[in-house]
Amino acid sequence: MKNIVVQKFGGTSLGSIERIKAVANTIKKTSLNEFPIIVVSAMSGETDKLINLAKDISDAPAERELDALLSTGEKVSAALLAMTLQSLGLQAKSFSAAQISMRTTSNHSKAKIIDINIDTIQASIDEACIPVITGFQGINDVGDVTTLGRGGSDTTAVAIAASIKAERCDIYTDVDGIYTTDPNLVPEAKKLRSITTEEMLELSGQGAKVMQVRAMEFANRYDVPIRVLSSFEEGEGTLITKEISSMEQPIITGIAMQDNQTKFTLHGVEDTPGNASGILGPIGDAGIDVDVIVQNVSVSGKTDFTFTIGNSDAKKAQKILESNLIKVNYDKLIVNNEIGKVSIVGVGMRSQSGVASIAFKTLAENNINIQMISTSEIKITLVISLKDMNLAVKSLHKAFNL
């Protein structure tokens, strides 16, 4: 019995019939030694094209129909790839999310996977027929199609790898591994041989789109080893795994950035119990993620309360805020979407002090003002002006010798 590996191919990797043929050859090679289960994204640009078609009809298309529309991109690539594999003499079959019972929550465009019935996949394995599964989508409890958020095919792949107990999950993409920061923005970025799941979870959560953050949550919870590698060239890629020998561990592993953020500040909030829950409770209830949250120490009973939200949810959050603020005493609401977030990540921070002061000094030397600071055990996040973001990443990358 061959080891089972899940292999996911991203949009650029499947961007043309030539690319699909190249991918089919990679799969054929894998199938000599291992049994591949394939997860596909839509062909590159396809999801954006579908979103734009919907936007031509309405600014706010019905969420159910939008998901029905977006799910078609992955169906096209799954069928085309299955045909190509067949033309190479391999047994292969495409499967939609409904066919493999990929059950999700009902919140369209950001549904969460609840469970997968692996019977269909297992039956395909038993017949030695390679399953080619649509990424990015699921079905809710009434059978409607849902989608998992941009980049969601990564999550489909890791979730399938976890439920089928695959040997590992290969993420084939347009870069040849995980770098110290986005190599398309910082050419000096260096490729990493390995990175811990915990660090990649933080980097993804802070904007490194090479892995969707939900995929990293699954990898962390179910201990799925991941390899990120290029579908364009041969190479070892980067291994994302729970444990890495401490010899290999630098203090800082990588830097992530995020530009699509909005900062909300409630100025002059009366400092009384229940404010934070009064302000953020209704936003959380609407399923909107709030990221960096800062409340100042109050002077004469008043304080400033500031938090950030991803731009895609910002308008909805602002409406919710404004309709709930009657219960909160404050002077004014300031909304700023010209902000960027830069995050420095590394498990070495646990045992090494001084990382924050190097970061602050570096930004000061570059005349970059820090608007908010938030830290966790292995991460420092700095909210700055959007116009300073690229300079901040480049100078921090240099300051930490990455």
Nearer to ligand ADP, 144 or 154 (CB): 154
131 vs 152 by CB, closer to ligand ASP:
152
Shortest Å distance, C-beta 156 to ligand ADP? 11
SS (H, E, C) the chain: CCEEEEEEECCHHHCCHHHHHHHHHHHHHHHHHEEEEEEECCCCCHHHHHHHHHHHHCCCCCHHHHHHHHHHHHHHHHHHHHHHHHHCCCCEEEECCCCCCEEECCCCCCCCEEEECCHHHHHHHHCCCEEEEECCEEECCCCCEEECCCCCHHHHHHHHHHHCCCCEEEEEECCCCCECCCCCCCCCCCECCEEEHHHHHHHHHCCCCCCCHHHHHHHHHHCCCEEEEECCCCCCCEEEECCCCHHHCCCCCEEEEEEEEEEEEEEEEECCCCHHHHHHHHHHHCCCCEEEEEECCCECCEEEEEEEEEHHHHHHHHHHHHHHHHHCCCCEEEEEEEEEEEEEECHHHHCCCCHHHHHHHHHHHCCCCEEEEEEECCEEEEEEEHHHHHHHHHHHHHHCCC
Residues from 226 through 255 that contact ligand ADP (CB under 6 A): 254
Binding-site size for ligand ADP (CB under 6 A) equals 19
Q: Per CB under 5 A, does 151 bind Mg ion?
A: yes
Options 40, 92, 208, 368; binder of ligand ADP; rule CB under 6 A: 208
Closest distance between ligand ADP and the C-beta of residue 58, in Å? Answer: 27
Contact of residue 4 among Mg ion, ligand ADP, ligand ASP, none (CB under 5-8 Å per partner type): none
Scan residues 230-249 and list those touching Mg ion (CB under 5 A): none
Of residues 82, 186, 210, 244, which one binds ligand ADP by CB under 6 A? 210
Nearest-approach distance from CB 253 to Mg ion, in angstroms: 20
Q: Which region among 6-14, 177-185, 342-350, 392-400 touches Mg ion (by CB under 5 A)?
A: 6-14
Residues between 136 and 195 that touch ligand ASP (CB under 6 A): 136, 150-154
Q: Minimum CB separation from ligand ASP for residue 107, in Å?
A: 16
Which residues lie near ligand ADP (CB under 6 A)?
Answer: 10-13, 41, 151, 173-175, 178-179, 181-184, 208-210, 254
Which residues lie near Mg ion (CB under 5 A)?
Answer: 10, 151
